[in-house]
Every structure is written in C-alpha cells, then in structure tokens.
Structure 1
Amino acid sequence: MIQRIQTIYLILAAIVAGGLIFVFNIWTVSNNTLFAQDFMQVVDVKQKAIPVLFILSSLISLITVFQFKKRKLQFVLGRVVILINLLLLGLLIYLMLTLSGEASVSEKGIGMFLPIIVILLTVFANKAIKKDEDLVKSVDRLR
C-alpha cells in the first residue's frame, strides 16, 4: 500500500534525483557553478546524459511507488533505479577525472554524491519490499 515505508524511501529517492539536482551543483569551474540542467546545452553526449539519467531515475522511482500491488515488479524497478544511478555515478566520476583542471581551478560540488544517496534509499526500499513479499509468502503457507 501507499503508506508503507518503502513508499517514503522511493519518494525521497525521486526528490533527491529529480529535485535536488536544481539545488546542488555538480562542480564549479573558475567561479562558474554547473548544475545538472546546465549540461543540456553542451555538445558532448556524455555530459548530456547526466540530466537525462537523473530525471529517468526520478521518474522510475515515482512509477515504482504506484506499483504497490505488484511487489515483484516494484522490486525489479528498484533494481533498475540502482543500475541507472550506478551508471550515473560512474559517468560523473569519469567526467570528474577527465575534467581539465590545469587551465582553471575546478571544485567538485555536493551534487556528485546525489546518486549515492538515491542508491541507498532505493536499497532500503527494496529491503522493505522483500520483507513484505516474505510476509505474504509466509501467510500463504499457513493457509
């Protein structure tokens, strides 16, 4: 049901992935702060994928909330969100390591850690979904 703890975790994951990308910057290059939505104007496909993956993660988290009658699908969608955020984290780390810091001073922002927070929240949600599924199975065994 919607009032379960996994719903809270999934809604928080959607808020972190979809809302906080507009609040926290990804990195700062020579006093120019770059947020996730700023990467839509660049030509590089790797950098354009950052806001797309954040929004996709947020949308799938919200869709997962409303799949409470299908716990197995909810669990699988949670795993998909985790994979998307692992891909996003890898992409951010790759871009951070290849970011040229010789010509200008670059500073990493807190937005680099948002995928880690989403992964943790989704893992907690999947743990609660698994607990519910096990509870339903145990009740079915007693019948």
Structure 2
Amino acid sequence: MLQRIQTIYLLLAAGVSAALPVFLPYGIDSDGVELFAKEDFFLLGLFAGSAVLSFIAIFLFKNRQLQFVLGRINILLNFILLGVFVYWSLTVSGETKVSEKGIGMIIPIISIVLLVMANKAIKKDENLVKSVDRLR
C-alpha cells in the first residue's frame, strides 16, 4: 500500500537521486569551475536510473519480492556510482578531471541508506504477511 513507510523512503531516495545532483557539485576542476552531474551524461544516466528504479519500486507494493529485488539492484547501482566518484577522486594526481571533491559525492551514500531502510521495511512487511498466512 502506498501509505507504508517504505514508500516514504523510496520517494526520498528518488528525490535525492533526481534533484540533488543538479544543484550540488561533485567536484571542482583545476580551473576552479564546479562540476555538476547534469553536465556529464554518464553520471546523469546513473542518477536518473537510480531515481527511476526507486519510483518504479513505489508502485510495486502488491509484489513485495520484486520491490525488494529492485531495491537491491538500486543499491548496487548506487554503489557503482559511488565507485565512479571514488575512482575520480583518487586519480587527482594528474589533475585529469576532478581537482577537489564536492558535496555531491555523498549523494549515493544518502540514497543507499534510504534504500536499505526501505528494504528493511519491505522485509518486515513480508514477514508480517507470512506470519498471518501461517495462522489461517
């Protein structure tokens, strides 16, 4: 049902993945220009994919197993995004792309935390339904 707590977590995760990369820079290049995800098609695609997966999972409340699997896939996608940010931040020595780290690099961490809390609530609902079915 749409009034469950996991819906709020998934909606927040979708909002974080969709809105924050547009406004928060993930780094500053060697010229002092802030780098945003909206300027990089690869990052924008990963963030948009994460937001779409979260939004789709909201409406799969009747199929909790698929909702849980989509949450896991979304967590994996955010770990890949976090890995890209870590890789770019560790290759700073040649001043290739990112000279300084920005606040936007923590967006995948926030999204992962929200998705883990949503998956925990989905699992709790699934266990509740199974326990009620056992009593019939």
Q: What band does the TM-score fall into relative to the shorter chain?
A: over 0.9
| 1:1-143 superposed matches below 5 A | 1-29=1-29, 30-40=31-41, 49-100=42-93, 106-143=99-136
**Amino acid in the other structure paired with 1:140:** D
- Judging changes above 3 Å, is the alpha-carbon distance between structure 1 residues 99 and 50 closer, same or farther for their aligned structure 2 residues? farther
Deviations along 1:13-68, whole A, 9 cap, x unmatched? 0011111111110101232001001113xxxxxxxx22111110000000000000
Unaligned runs of 5+ in 2: none
- Judging changes above 3 Å, is the alpha-carbon distance between structure 1 residues 103 and 129 closer, same or farther for their aligned structure 2 residues? closer
Task: Describe the SS at the equivalent of 2:34.
Answer: strand
**Amino acid in the other structure paired with 1:71:** R
2:75–2:115 Cα contact (<8 Å) kept: yes
- Judging changes above 3 Å, is the alpha-carbon distance between structure 1 residues 118 and 104 closer, same or farther for their aligned structure 2 residues? closer
Q: CA deviation at 1:122?
A: 0.2
**Amino acid in the other structure paired with 2:72:** R
- TM-score, with length taken from structure 2: 0.93
Percent identity for Structure 1 against Structure 2:
57
Q: Distance in 2 between matches of 1:50 and 1:79?
A: 20
Unaligned runs of 5+ in 1: 41-48
Number of paired residues?
A: 135
Q: Distance in 2 between matches of 1:16 and 1:63?
A: 15
Taking only aligned residues, the RMSD between alpha carbons, in angstroms, comes to: 1.7
